[in-house]
Chains A and B, each alone.
Chain A
Amino acid sequence: MRLAAVDAAAAKANLISGQNLSDARALVPDLEVREIDRAYLEQVFADFADWHSNASPIVAVHTAAAPYGDLVLDITGVAHLFGDEQKMLEVLVNRLRALGFTVSGAIADTVGAAWALAHFSSGRIVPRGETEAALASLPIVGLRLEEAQVSGLNQMGLKTIGQLYGRDRRALQARFGETLILRLDQALGRIEERITPRLPIAEYYAERRFAEPIGYMDDVLMTARDLAIQLGLRLEAEGLGAQTFHLLLYRVDHKVMNLTINAGRATRDPNHIAQLFVHRSERLEGEYDAGFGIDMIRLAASSLAEVQSTQLGAFEVQDGAQDLDRLYDRMTSRLGPLALTRSKFVNTHIPERATKLEPVIAQTEDDPEALPDPELRRPLRLLPNPEPINVMAEVPHGPPMRIIWRRIAYRILKASGPERIEAEWWRSGKNLEVLERPERGSKRRDPRDDPKTDTQKPREPEHVSALAAFDPLTTVRDYYIIEDDGGRRFWIFRIGLYGAAEAPRWFLHGFFA
């Protein structure tokens, strides 16, 4: 075990981070040691990073080089908002210091150089083109290297970054690995290093800062409406609309809440956007917590698309499509994105997979191959899970005469069938087996588990089990349409064949009108 970090008192006692714990204990017997809570640190850093998006749009957390992460801000074109770079650095560092953190920061052309400076020469600002000189006297650790590389370089007497400048690159690479050259080039700006921002970068946003923090949701929503008007004007000037809007609420205690809404089609109508946020806020329940207040609100638009201004009135066709889209947006923002769905055909013969439910606001193209065969009769309602039924007076290879479903007996007078549906042999390992359903009434099924709502990717429905091999005797369903003496029309099927090792089983799958 090693020390990940030491505080000022420990540093005074000559402890350093990276030291062996037993060594440290030997030096300072009454040392107070806490285990590092990486999950917590990660969370805090993420919060900090989000909060710093009030200073710069591109903020990332680098965790590779330091035990508890580094905050990286791309301040291109931002510093003048604070006066100059010097002032910006002071503001950012001081506001964190005011919270009781030990902070060191630096500004340089590259991420690598800024990292080295922040860790070993805090507070410096290196102007453009002077990176090489500024790094020359810094220790080799400043290149974000692995421990083995550092000790190897030190053994060879290479203690500062400057000593590497004139060396033969090939020899260095052969001796210390590719990453050394990579880090060196990154620090000196010969290779570009990407920053992956945590929050989506929005080209179009509107924001408002408050002198006094606000807390009420109503105020937030009112501000959102104002911002939507501002943003709408900007979008209109560019002939754009957006499908996704993020409302970022910056709390004074350095947390950012992100409310996101999605519209069915690109829009810039402030009333509509504000309305969607109102509905979204009604779905928040306990999530909303203003803490000590919110001092900045930003409304950002993403998923931009061209929206031409259209003339209303005169010869416009009023087909209500726009009204419908708005209705779906409103309902979805309050009820959740999976609540409103539409049936979509899937190109398969297996009944429960032939139709899937797709959210109305995320429509995809119809698959013309998937349209169902009109000659095959299909029920008006389908049970998401087929229910087992008892069949009495069984006629081999024919429809049953009496069935018991949900403890009620039905006398079957009419029947047609069978329609044989077999497993899709080209998907190996799948069959038409029906799995046991969880006890009725014990727990409502999660809608996301419902195979029919599954729209993200074609996950196999849970009631289709995987078999090692294709077995024709257990992969056959014979469907019958039956009508009982009361005129109820059901869709039932039999799994398995008579004479097979396992007795065939019957299920009820749907209702005809």
Chain B
Amino acid sequence: MPGLARHDLDALRLKIAALEKRPLLAEGAAMLAERLGRAANDRGENADPLELLAAPNGLLHEVFADEQRQSGAALGFTFGLARQLLTSQRQAVLYLQLMGEGQELGLPYGAGLTQFGIDPARLVIGRIDSMTELLWAMEEAIACRAVAGVIADLASHPKALDFTVSRRLSLRAAAAGTSAFLVRYGRGREASAAKLRWRISPAMSGELPFDPRAPGIPRFQIEIEKGRLGDKTQRAEGKTMLVDWTENGFVSVEPKRRTGTAVHRTAPSSRPVAAPLGHRLSQAG
């Protein structure tokens, strides 16, 4: 379409979204575009891709990791995104996995979740027999307005998950304002209606303050492969960034600090945790 400026196209898309009664999507996109624009103006440069990490509700995300052995990083990043969506109205995150893939990828582990900053009581772990049932469960959960996010962790490449299905999920997510995440593994990409696609790889962690030889707090390398939320996000496509997961959420790691000391601790849980044993003993007298 020569002659038609990019922002006109964007405006048109938003108008269509509004006509199709997808107010949440339109609103979210507008909000994000505004925020990105503001961030860009503040720095006088391109939009900071980090802003995308606080994506609005109601989007279908795809999170890709190159290999199954990076399942820890992929899930960590997804939980990071989903945690921001928890509100007092949306109190639960659903994690769905196919039965039998638990040994391939590992199951979310309660004690680790607490340390990562996810309250295990808010995370519902579903292990489901077949892909059809899993997709049904996903749609059902997306339609519930009390769910913050639905995460499907898929070790395999099921045939059932095609473009039509992803479009369905995307529309449902937009209609109910619940975000959906497809966590997948491999380098192949299929056509999908996901608004955002991330490629996650783990990165060498920074140093812990008192133990330089120990693995540090979670650090991910994030590449935005797809950002279809207006032209500003589209411009962020192909960008990579390095982020740490801290108690303040995702924090960008400046290139010069990459080998430096990371001072943040991992995000704390919103629940009370047991005092260390010594403390308990002293209380017991």
Contact = CB atoms under 8 A, between A and B. Distances in A.
Interface in A72-114: none
Contacts of A437: 103
B166 interface: no
| Residue in B77, B123, B215 with the greatest tally of chain A CB atoms within 10 Å | B215
B102 A331 contact: no
A444 B99 contact: yes
Contacts of B215: 414-416, 481-483, 489, 512
A77 to B, nearest CB: 44
Q: Give the size category of B's interface with A.
A: 35 or more
A374 B115 contact: yes
Given A323-B146, A341-B125, A513-B245, A378 B115 contact: yes
A342 B146 CA distance: 17
A373 B99 contact: no
Contacts of B133: 334-335
A335 B137 contact: yes
A316 interface: no
Contacts, number: 222
Contact of B103 (A343, A383, A405): A383
B114 interface: yes
B146 to A, nearest CB: 3
A124 B127 CA distance: 59
Name the prevailing secondary structure of the B interface residues: mixed
A444 B100 contact: yes
A380 B108 contact: yes
B140 interface: yes
B276 interface: yes
A341 B124 contact: yes
B92 A345 contact: no
Contact of A384 (B102, B144, B147, B205): B102
Contacts of B214: 414-416, 481
B73 interface: yes
25 contacts: A324-B92, A331-B126, A331-B137, A334-B133, A335-B128, A357-B107, A371-B272, A371-B274, A378-B109, A380-B72, A380-B75, A380-B113, A381-B112, A416-B214, A445-B103, A483-B205, A486-B201, A487-B201, A487-B203, A488-B69, A489-B205, A511-B71, A513-B73, A513-B218, A513-B245
Interface of A: 318-321, 323-324, 326-328, 330-331, 334-336, 339-345, 351, 354-355, 357, 360, 366, 368-369, 371-385, 405-406, 408, 413-416, 437, 440, 444-445, 447, 450, 452, 481-483, 485-489, 510-513
Interface of B: 69-73, 75-77, 79, 88-92, 99-100, 102-103, 105-116, 120-121, 123-129, 133, 136-137, 140-141, 144-147, 201-205, 208, 211, 213-216, 218-221, 245, 268, 271-274, 276-277
